[in-house]
Copies of this chain bind each other. A is one copy, B any other.
Amino acid sequence: MASNSFGEIFRLTSFGESHGEALGGIIDGVPAGIEIDYNFIQTEMDRRRPGQSKIVTQRKESDTVQFLSGIFEGKTTGTSIGFIIVNENQKSRDYDHIKDIYRPSHADFTYDKKYGNRDYRGGGRSSARETVARVVAGAIAKLALNQIGVTIQAFVNQVGTIKVEKAYKQLDLSLTESNDVRCPDLKIAAKMEQLIKETRKKGDTIGGCVQCVITGTPIGLGEPVFDKLHADLGKAMLSINAVKGFEYGSGFAGVEMNGSEHNDVFNTDQSTQTNNSGGIQGGISNGEDIYFRVAFKPVATLMQKQQTINNTNQEVEMEGKGRHDACVVPRAVVIVEAMTAITLFDFYLRNKLARL
């Protein structure tokens, strides 16, 4: 029932509003003995941080994590890890102009109707700023997964109509962080960057896709029949703000294939010749690469005039203020990775229980 929690064993519970005192979370179910690399965690936070490059929102936050418990002498102790990220400029912006307004395609209307009131400052809890807590938990999950040999790499593979046409195996994923868009196909990256800049100039926004690739997953992760590995990865992705779709392995394209071409034939070393299954069969990892794609809609906040209504159903005109992303996918890359890491490490722990 706890809708601010994610994961069954390795479990993040988060709190915090865009313009409240602080955001943060508690991670429960962390096994004892994981070495905590604070620099790595902060590096992950920096990948999500606003203001990191010219094509993302220029809001200034250092997004420094303070750990309050659960770590002793550099290692996890097995007790719950509490952490906070203080909001530095929560009083610097004025949201009074949207206090009574339902912005189009935002959560203003639905929160107001559901709860009877809402923290309107910067979207309150519905702001994507809540993902800071996900990145912290994801970074700890990554540290644990590294010890097991799992790597997670996400990258932008589409902005608007500009797509990476190559399969991920043809790309050098180490190039992802080399450009502001976080696309390892550098020619495509340049085009994407151009499109984002043009879109921003018009005061408009544009959607995009993130692809994620996981290597080194042990065989056996996934808990049928409802907690299939890809089902929970799908939920993890769909729980991120602005996500509209998820597909893994052959995905929507697989629909058009015949079984005779779609089936992944085994090699005698138990690997498969193709990987339309996306590394998951019957909801359980088979040791091949896991890969999936996540669709993000264009950001709803525009730097141009829009018609909308207020909470007494009167038509009003509004315009976004402040500094917003024209395209979320470059910053979403680390959030996709974080949710992937949380999910995967959780299933790694769950799989310890499969046999007596």
Residues of A near any B CB (own CB < 8 A): 1-6, 8-9, 11, 13-17, 20-26, 28-29, 31-34, 66-70, 72-73, 75, 77-82, 84, 102, 104-107, 109-111, 113-119, 124-126, 130, 144, 147, 158, 160-161, 199, 204-209, 219-220, 222-228, 230-232, 234-235, 238-239, 244-252, 254-260, 262-270, 272, 276-278, 281-286, 295-302, 304, 306-309, 313-315, 349-356
Are A257 and B298 also in contact (CB < 8 A) when A32-B116, A276-B105, A308-B265 are? yes
Q: With contacts A281-B107, A295-B247 known, is A230 near B238, CB below 8 A? A: yes
Residue in contact with A250 in the complex, picked from B118, B147, B244, B354, CB distance below 8 Å: B244
Tell me if A255 and B125 are in contact (CB < 8 A).
Answer: no
Which residues of B have CB within 8 Å of A226? Answer: 3-6, 235, 239
Q: Closest B residue to A114 by CB, please name it.
A: B220
In Å, the complex CA distance between A244 and B290 comes to 13
| B224 adjacent to A304 (CB under 8 Å) | no
Among residues of B, the one whose C-beta sits closest to the C-beta of A298 is B259
Q: Indicate if the CB atoms of B77 and A117 lie closer than 8 Å.
A: yes
Cross-interface CB contact of A268 among B70, B208, B255, B314, cutoff 8 Å: B314
